[in-house]
Structure 1
Amino acid sequence: MNIRIPDRVIVFDYGEVISVSQSEADRAALVALSGLEPELFWRLYDRHRDDLDQGIALPHEYWTRVAHDAGVEWSPAQLQLLWAADLRSWISVEPGTIELLAALHAGGTRVALLSNAGFDFSDPFRHSPMARYFEAMFVSAELGLIKPDPEIYRVVAERLGIELAQMVFVDNKAVNVDAAVALGVTGHHFTGVAGLRAFLHELAGRAEAGADEQQSA
């Protein structure tokens, strides 16, 4: 079923909205490659992630910083293997979300992507099969900004040629949604496909009702 929401742009987060969470097998593979204790690895993994996502650190710099803080030195091969395992862990997608993207696209609804991600994700995003559903893809590293900085939503709206009130933003992190809503964006905190589907159909229904009212006025 097509989903038509005219005069709005639906902006999707990627991680854990379009993608699924890292699997236990992927997480275990990363820890095994690192040679570190799991608690230490994940603490250091998160420590420099904002710099990676903001484009302050390139992928090899990010992994070198993790190694430095752990007091270890990974070989060039280990660095490449860790990078590949990490990228692979975020590539698996939620089928239901992809179906909603296709339904929005088929209905003529404008759709864009806004993801906190490093430079290394830009090509996989833009050259994947799902890319045809998006009129624009915004990667935080390329913008030099990360959610929930209010400026990132302003920049995205400007580049899409819309007012913030015309943006609908979907993210799995409430803090990112709240920051957008504070600017006048319509937000949806993603907790599952069923909730997102109901939200989008509600927006479509409101748009259709509004169009009917204008025609009858």
Structure 2
Amino acid sequence: MSRPVIFDLFHTLVHGADDERDRVVGEMALMVGVDPAALVAAYHATWRERLVRWDVEETIRVLAGRLGGAPTDEQVTRAAAHRRSLARRVLGSVSTATLDMLDALRDAGHPLALISNATSETAEAWPRSPLARRFDVAVFSCDVGVAKPDPAIYRTTAELLGVAPAECVFVGDGADGELAGAAGVGMTVLRTTEHNDTDPSWDGPAFATLRDLPTLLHQPPGASGSTGRASRTTPTDDLR
């Protein structure tokens, strides 16, 4: 069997849509009667809770309440729908070139998995995205209650694939210390810079476009593999 390949999602397979996310959160603030800039700041400050604990409705209620708001159920539902619409748009924006690359890997026999630090609306949108049918396993932090770089999320994904972590290749941009987390459980790590040069301090192999990945994976053993290291763990908060 060809080696399983595990991908990050935002800034790896699709753009993170950071500016659009902040715009949408500001619009949600108007829907629930709080200050837009304050709600955007609150979203950024609570990235960890939103990744592993709160769904979109709870996030809106909690953060609006902290900002002095008291939104009705109807207002919360409307704001949540706005956020869910963003998730669908971003997942639907995956390029044809990326889909072709994934198809090429599957045709070559590589099992494919996803590990994403993502909030509930992304996990909800995933099954209807063009990416979903190309993956054997998809693990979201909001579903399993842990986020990268916690070793548990990598081990859970490998277990679902039916392999040991050391048999897997992890591909990501490097947000949230994900590269070091993957290396720490024994995965081969490849850093992509196609959408964002998130962790230039990583000293393992990197590549600029996803279409190069199938060639890298078929190089002789050791030519592309490295455990490497990362010195930055700052969250990018992509669609979170």
TM-score w.r.t. the length of structure 1 is 0.80
AA at the equivalent of 2:79: L
Which residue is equivalent to 1:215?
A: none
Q: How far apart are the structure 1 equivalents of 2:82 and 2:172?
A: 24
- 1:61 pairs, out of 47, 55, 58, with 58
Q: How many equivalent pairs are there?
A: 202
Q: 1:151 to 1:24 in 2, by over 3 A?
A: closer
Q: How far 1:164 moved relative to its partner? A: 1.2
Which residue is equivalent to 1:32?
A: 27
Q: How far apart are the structure 2 equivalents of 1:53 and 1:25?
A: 19
Which residue is equivalent to 2:219?
A: 205
Q: Deviations over 1:93-144 (max 9, x none)?
A: 3303222212212222110111122344334212333222111111222212
Which residue is equivalent to 1:88?
A: 85
TM-score w.r.t. the length of structure 2 is 0.73
The structure with the larger Rg is 1
Q: CA RMSD in A?
A: 2.5
* 1:115-126 superposed matches below 5 A: 115-126=116-127
Q: What percentage of residue pairs aligned between the two structures are identical?
A: 26
Q: Is the CA contact (8 Å cut-off) linking 2:169 and 2:189 kept in structure 1?
A: yes
Gaps of 5+ in 2: 196-207, 224-240
AA at the equivalent of 1:31: G
AA at the equivalent of 1:121: T
* 1:35-114 superposed matches below 5 A: 35=30, 36-54=34-52, 56-91=53-88, 92=90, 93-95=93-95, 96-114=97-115
AA at the equivalent of 2:100: E
Q: How far 1:198 moved relative to its partner? A: 2.6
Which residue is equivalent to 1:171?
A: 172
Q: How far 1:25 moved relative to its partner? A: 4.9
Which residue is equivalent to 2:226?
A: none
Q: How far apart are the structure 2 equivalents of 1:31 and 1:123?
A: 22
Q: 1:122 to 1:152 in 2, by over 3 A?
A: same
Q: Is the CA contact (8 Å cut-off) linking 1:10 and 1:110 kept in structure 2?
A: yes
SS at match of 1:205: coil
- 1:196 pairs, out of 206, 210, 213, with 210
Q: How far apart are the structure 1 equivalents of 2:123 and 2:211?
A: 26
Q: Is the CA contact (8 Å cut-off) linking 1:8 and 1:168 kept in structure 2?
A: yes
Q: How far apart are the structure 1 equivalents of 2:164 and 2:174?
A: 23
Q: How far apart are the structure 1 equivalents of 2:7 and 2:128?
A: 17
Q: How far apart are the structure 1 equivalents of 2:140 and 2:99?
A: 19
Q: How far apart are the structure 1 equivalents of 2:47 and 2:83?
A: 12
Q: 1:206 to 1:144 in 2, by over 3 A?
A: same
Q: How far 1:12 moved relative to its partner? A: 1.2
Q: Which has the higher contact order (CA 8 A, sep 6+)?
A: 1
